[in-house]
Amino acid sequence: MADRSGAYSEAQVIARLREIFASPDPRIEVGIGDDAAVVAGDKRQVMTTDMAVEGVHFRNDWSSGFEIGRKVTAANAADILAMGATPDYLLVAVALIGTESMEWISELARGIKFEADLAGMQVIGGDISRSENVVISMTAVGHCDNAITRAGAQVGDGIYLSSLTGWSAAGLAILQSASGAKSEAGQLAVQEFKSPTIDYKFDSARATAMCDVSDCVIEQSAQIADASGVELAFDINLIANSAEFIELQSIANDLDISIWQWIFAGGEDHVLLATGKDLPGLRIGDVIKGSGVSGVPTGVETSAWRHFK
């Protein structure tokens, strides 16, 4: 990892960021360097904001600046995608300790740009401050014709994941263990924790309800069920038949951890959870009459991640 020591001025940092995030996008009338950004557009705007705090959401001894930049950006892009929208712009506010090197700051910015490019977003501005811990706050802006909310699930819909959840939780478990990643699947899990893969090409056009699995499947599915006035019934046999399940199961066996806890209560996968008919991805159950969620294996309902216990 790059050394985090070195002096720099705010103007120097802004100049470096202007260079890294330079864009030919004609919609950007005013970009980095002024009091605010100015963009042109005629679509319905979708906006979200998210904050990542060192020691809570990422650790510098586990992740490089590039990986941290990718991870925080991915979380914001996923929230835009979860509304059925196209990501457009990103505003980034960063509080630094003041001992970081310009190399580490550039590495962080390049990670942000790498993921923003994958999402089709342009970084157009932000802010820099000082803090006792590194804090990264992002505001993402996208556009859509009609937003997909959590309130549209209908009886008879299927429940879908854009890809299998649990990989980020598996990566965290490996990092917390003394054994490390022993297999190719374990290495993939660690990478998914550090920089989650977002399903940018997921076709949500027929989805009736959708959300990003940032907390965990239990929490997000309960939110859809409550908002839609239906019950989400899971079928673990459908999940166990997925192509990724065997690889994830091998990691769970190595660490003697329940794979179902990772899949249903792991969190930070940023996979899309959607309801509808004949959607892409992995079908994991059905929407039925009732309320809440069902079909969750015993013992994982109360193990979901929460910011405030």
Give the CATH architecture of domain 10-144. 2-Layer Sandwich (3.30)
Q: What is the pLDDT of residue 29?
A: 73
The DSSP output letter for 296 is P
> In 14-72, where do the E strands start and end?
28-30, 38-39, 44-53
pLDDT digits (tens, 9 = 90+) for 66-123: 999 999 999 999 999 999 999 999 999 999 998 999 999 999 999 999 999 999 999 9
Q: Does the pLDDT value for residue 221 go beyond 50?
A: yes
39 φ, ψ (degrees, to nearest 5): -130, 155
How many CA atoms lie less than 13 Å away from 94 in the CB half-sphere? 23
Look-up of token digits 């069902």: 294
Q: How confident is the model at residue 224 (pLDDT cuts 50, 70, 90)?
A: very high
59: left (phi over 0), alpha (psi -120 to 50) or beta: beta
Residues 6+ apart with CB under 8 A from 259: 166, 245, 248, 249, 252
The yes/no answer on whether domain 158-294 falls in CATH 3.90.650.10 is: yes
Report domain extents, the chain: 10-144, 158-294
Letter for the amino acid at 270?
Answer: H
Q: What is the pLDDT of residue 33?
A: 62
- Return d(Cα 62, Cα 64) in angstroms, integer: 7
